Homo-oligomer: A and B are copies of this chain.
Amino acid sequence: MSSAQNPIIEVIAFDADDTLWHNESLFTVTQAKFKQLLAGYHSDEWIEAKLNETEHRNIQHFGYGIKGFTLSMIETAIELTEGRISGAEIQQIIEYAKFMLHAPVELLDGVAETISALAGQYRLMLITKGDLFDQESKIARSGLGDHFSHLEIVSEKNTDVYRAVMARHQLDPQRFLMVGNSIKSDILPVIEAGGRAVHIPYHTTWVHEQVSDYDAASFYEIGDIRQLPGLLEEMRERG
């Protein structure tokens, strides 16, 4: 079906966090609470800088996701208060984690109708990074799960991982299109693996996802997922 309709693209893979639903905003809200909690000890800027530093150092231990973020918040709080933080305050941080893990999944504007429309024309995949348990829960709560023929939850998004996903599903990289908000995770490694990519910027980007040195001509960029069907149409016409 899809090959008859679009000789260029057969499979469209979507990132999830900040591409299909809001995620970074939940971390931003939690960081604001965390800064409030430690307001008696340090300035907002210093707390944020130290938290980023701890997270960066701990990715090798904890990977991506809310549980690792929470352990990094606790570690930062202990460090910044020189151990004076109370048990009740640390329990507060654990409660932030539970809140985040159960927060409603809010789809970005236009996602529900665009995904539903594209699912009739293309094979859709979801490729997301983070905690397995949390990501599965969000996919279920999003109500979008049935539109995707494959769900891939990966611990890291690099060229080797994309190559492995393509090989596992016997996908031709030339006919594979990845759509996501992170140039570092969703765009550059896909191009490197021989695929195509569409960048849809989200209003904030996590500091660990920021990159500056890349060739913007090697991928597409749109402002909103609702422009994706039009872009696919153009790609087909240009052949």
Q: Which residues of A contact B (CB under 8 A)?
A: 61-65, 67-68, 70-71, 74-75, 77-78, 81-88, 90-91, 94, 97-98, 101-102, 131-134, 136, 153-155
Contacts and interface: CB of A to CB of B under 8 A. Distances in A.
B83 A87 contact: yes
Contact of A78 (B75, B78, B90): B90
A132 to B, nearest CB: 4
B85 A87 contact: yes
B97 A71 contact: yes
Given A132-B131, A155-B132, A87 B84 contact: yes
Task: Determine chain A's interface SS by DSSP, over half rule.
Answer: helix
A10 to B, nearest CB: 19
Nearest to A89: B83
A84 B91 CA distance: 12
Contacts of A61: 97-98, 101-102
| Number of copies of this chain that the complex holds | 2
Given A101-B61, A102-B61, A155-B132, A71 B78 contact: no
Contacts of A81: 87
Contacts of A86: 83
Contact of A68 (B67, B78, B102): B67
A88 B97 contact: no
Contact of A67 (B62, B91, B136): B62
A88 B83 contact: yes
A101 to B, nearest CB: 5
A78 B74 contact: no
